[in-house]
Amino acid sequence: MATTKVKGIIIENKDYKEKDILATIYTVELGKVRALFKGVKGEKAKMKAHKNIFTFAEFVLENTKGNNIVSQVDLIEGFYNLSQDLDKFYEACSIVDIVKKLGNEQSDPVFFLEFVKALKNLNYSVVLKNITLIKFLINVFKGAGYPINFSECASCKAKITGKKYFNLDFGEIVCGNCRKNTSFEITPLIFSCLKIINQTPYEKLKSIKINDEGITDSLILLSDNFEWRFGCKFFIA
Ligand SMILES: [Zn+2]
């Protein structure tokens, strides 16, 4: 029986047999890991509170017959506020779904840290709805090799002064001369919304004031870009 200790966040949990829960944990060391919480559905179960989605902890896993069984949980952060506020909850679900879709069975500490920063900000700060999600997405694109440049045309490198276009083929902002069939114009509102969120660190996102339209339209653009880059959609409430 091999014992492994991992640090991770629960991103999914499903009923398994009568009394167990099968969880997917996104870990620093191993990427996505599936693990069983045995007998945790009862009122008095020892790890009852630590099987929930968003739980950030150090998990001890015992590997028996090819299955990981959780034998110990040392809580790092419960992110309890996320389940107390419906808007925060749905936004956190979008972030978790992105990790579910893009995370694989390999360690990616940079992506993991980005995930933690986003959940932490959402849990502790009062930020306008979906701004944390937009910040997370911009950084996810950057980490995956599709950075969005807000100062110059991604194609000809000229400073963009006039109309701006988003080229879905490459997930980049281009000028009028470099636009292609798969480019569409980005409104000044979307451009400034994305630009300001991009240059603001997580801990200062709470100071950003943007109207609902700017946030909604920016999220639609990033969601389209996500589908073009990764071939799937993520959950948006
Ligand atoms: Zn250009």
The whole model's pTM is what? 0.95
Report the pLDDT value the prediction gives residue 48, as an integer from 0 to 100: 78
Whether 69 and 130 map to the same domain: the answer is no
Ligand 1: centre distance to CA 237 (Å): 35
Q: Tell me: pLDDT of 125 over 90.
A: yes
Q: Hunting for tokens 């979307």 — which residue is that?
A: 190
Whether residue 23 is contained in a domain is answered as yes
d(CA 190, CA 224): 14
User: Could you report the per-residue pLDDT of 169-225, keeping only the tens digit for each?
Assistant: 999 999 999 999 989 999 999 999 999 999 999 999 999 999 999 999 999 999 999
Report the pLDDT value the prediction gives residue 10, as an integer from 0 to 100: 98
DSSP state of 87: H
Report the pLDDT value the prediction gives residue 84, as an integer from 0 to 100: 94
Q: Tell me: pLDDT of 137 over 70.
A: yes
Ligand 1: centre distance to CA 172 (Å): 11
Whether residue 150 is contained in a domain is answered as yes
User: Could you report the per-residue pLDDT of 10-64, keeping only the tens digit for each?
Assistant: 999 999 988 899 999 999 999 999 999 998 877 777 787 788 999 999 999 999 9
Residues 6 or more apart whose CB falls under 8 angstroms from that of 157 comprise: none
Ligand 1: centre distance to CA 159 (Å): 8
Report the pLDDT value the prediction gives residue 158, as an integer from 0 to 100: 95
Cα of 42 vs its chain's centroid, Å:
31
Report the pLDDT value the prediction gives residue 50, as an integer from 0 to 100: 84
d(CA 31, CA 57): 14
Q: CA geometry: angle at 83 spanning 80 and 84, to 5°?
A: 90
d(CA 147, CA 172): 8
In this structure, what token pair is assigned to residue 80?
């309890």
115 membership: H or E segment, kind and range: helix 109-124
Question: In the β-sheet with 183-186, what is the strand arrangement from edge to edge?
Answer: 172-174, 164-167, 183-186
Ligand 1: centre distance to CA 158 (Å): 6
Whether 109 and 50 map to the same domain: the answer is no
Q: Tell me: pLDDT of 75 over 70.
A: yes
Domain that holds residue 101: 86-230
Amino acid in the structure at residue 122: L
Whether 103 and 65 map to the same domain: the answer is no
Rg, Å, the chain Cα set? 20
Ligand 1: centre distance to CA 142 (Å): 20
Whether residue 135 is contained in a domain is answered as yes
Q: Hunting for tokens 């808007």 — which residue is that?
A: 87
Choose one of 16, 46, 77: the last residue of a domain: 77
Number of compact structural domains in the chain: 2
C-alpha atoms less than 13 angstroms from C-alpha of 100 in its C-beta half-sphere:
19
User: CA–CA distance from 183 to each of 16, 38, 61, 210 (Å)?
Assistant: 46, 51, 48, 25
Ligand 1: centre distance to CA 222 (Å): 21
Ligand 1: centre distance to CA 154 (Å): 7
Whether 111 and 58 map to the same domain: the answer is no
d(CA 183, CA 169): 8
Q: Tell me: pLDDT of 111 over 90.
A: yes
Whether residue 235 is contained in a domain is answered as no
d(CA 121, CA 202): 6
Average pLDDT of the chain is: 95
Choose one of 33, 54, 77: the last residue of a domain: 77
What is the arithmetic mean of pLDDT over 151-180?
94
Report the pLDDT value the prediction gives residue 49, as an integer from 0 to 100: 77
Q: In which band, very low, low, confident or very high, does the pLDDT at 1 lie, cut at 50, 70 and 90? A: low
Ligand 1: centre distance to CA 148 (Å): 14
Closest-CA residue to 148 (of 75, 94, 84, 197): 197
Report the CATH number at residue 70. 2.40.50.140
